[in-house]
Amino acid sequence: MRKRSIASPVARFGTIMPLLAAACATEPETGGVCDRTPGVRDEIVRVTGAPDCGAVTPADLAGIASLDLLGLRGLSVGDLAGLTGLETLSLVGYLSATLPEGVFSGLTSLLGLSVFDTELETLPAGVFSGLTSLQGLSIRANDELATLPAGVFSGLASLRRLTLMHNFELATLPAEVFSGLASLRNLRLTENVLASLPEGVFSGLEGLELLDLSANRLASLPEGVFSGLASLERLDLRNNPGAPFELALRFERTDGTGTDASPASVRLVLAEGAPATIVAPLSVEGGGASSSAALLPAGSTEGPTFAVVQHTAGRPTIVRASSVPSLTFGGLSLVAPSDLVLFSSGVGRP
C-alpha cells in the first residue's frame, strides 16, 4: 500500500495562507460609524470629511461642534455616541412618532437643541436628562405633538430659554411640566392650542423674565398662575379668547370681619398673583390708615397688611383705592378693588 504524504497538506496550506490574507485585507473595517442610522452616519462622514464611515475616529466624533439631522425616519440609541464636543443639534423633519429613551445620552457639552417640523406625537419622560449644559431648547412646528409627560424637562438645570411654538395639537400641559427649571429666564408658549393652564404650572420659575402665552385658546387663568414670578419683565397673553384678562384686586381684612371693632388689619390680594408690583394709593373715608398706599409685590397673591382705624364711633369707615396702575403687559388689565366697609356696627377706637 502506498503511504500518504504528510507534507502535501502542509504545503497546500502554505500556499492558501497568502490568499486568505489578501482576501481579508479587502474586507470592510469594523468600527467607525458604519452601523449607525444612515442619515446620522452620512452627516457625520460629511461633517468630519472622512473618506468613508469606517474611517471616522473617536477624535473625529469628539471634534464635531454642530450637527443638523434632516428627514430621519428614526433614531437609535447610540447614534449620537461619542459626540462629546457637540454644542448645537438640530432635528428637522423627523419622521417617527417618538424618540428612543437615552438617545441624547452623553451629550454633556450640548448648549442648543432644536426639534422642528417633526411627526412626533409625544416625548418620553426624561428624554433630555443628562443634558446638563443645555441652555436653549426649541420644540416648534410639530403638528402631531399632542401631549408632554410630567418630567419631560427634568435634569435641565442650566436651561435658560425654552420655546414651545406652533405645535397645533398641544392643548394641555401637565402641572409639573416645568419643575426643576430654576435657571429658566425665557419661556415662549406661543401659537399652540392651549385651552387651559393647570394650577401651579409655573411654580419654581422665580427667575423667569419673559413669558409669552399669546395666540392660544385660553379663556381663563387659574388661581396663582403668576405666583412666584417676581422677575417678569415681559408677559404677553394677547390673541387668546379671554384676552384682555381682567385681574380683579380685592381688599381683605385679616383679623376679623367688617363689623368687628377698630382697628383693623387689611391687605391687598389678587387670586392669580401679581405679574408686576402693584401700588394702589389709598383713600379712607371716616377713618385713617397706617399707609398711604396698598402694596402687592410682584409674584405675590397677598400684600403686607396695613392698619385702619375708625374716627367716629357708630359710623362706618370705607377703604378704597383712589387709582390702580395700568399694566404694560399685553392681554392683561387690572380691575380696582371694591370698597371695603369696616366697623359698620362697631365702636370707635379706645
In this model, does residue 348 exceed pLDDT 60? Answer: no
For position 31, what pLDDT does the model report? 60
In this model, does residue 221 exceed pLDDT 60? Answer: yes
- 78, 95, 198, 183: which is closest to 144 by C-alpha? 95
DSSP state of 257: -
pTM for this entry = 0.87
Q: What is the average per-residue pLDDT within 235-248?
A: 98
For position 30, what pLDDT does the model report? 44
DSSP state of 53: G
Radius of gyration of the chain measured on its C-alpha atoms: 33
In this model, does residue 151 exceed pLDDT 90? Answer: no
All cell numbers assigned to 68:
443638523
In this model, does residue 52 exceed pLDDT 50? Answer: yes
Strand 278-285 relative to strand 293-296, pairing: antiparallel
In this model, does residue 43 exceed pLDDT 70? Answer: yes
Q: Is 88 helix (H, G, I), strand (E, B) or coil?
A: strand
- 245, 247, 322: which is closest to 280 by C-alpha? 322
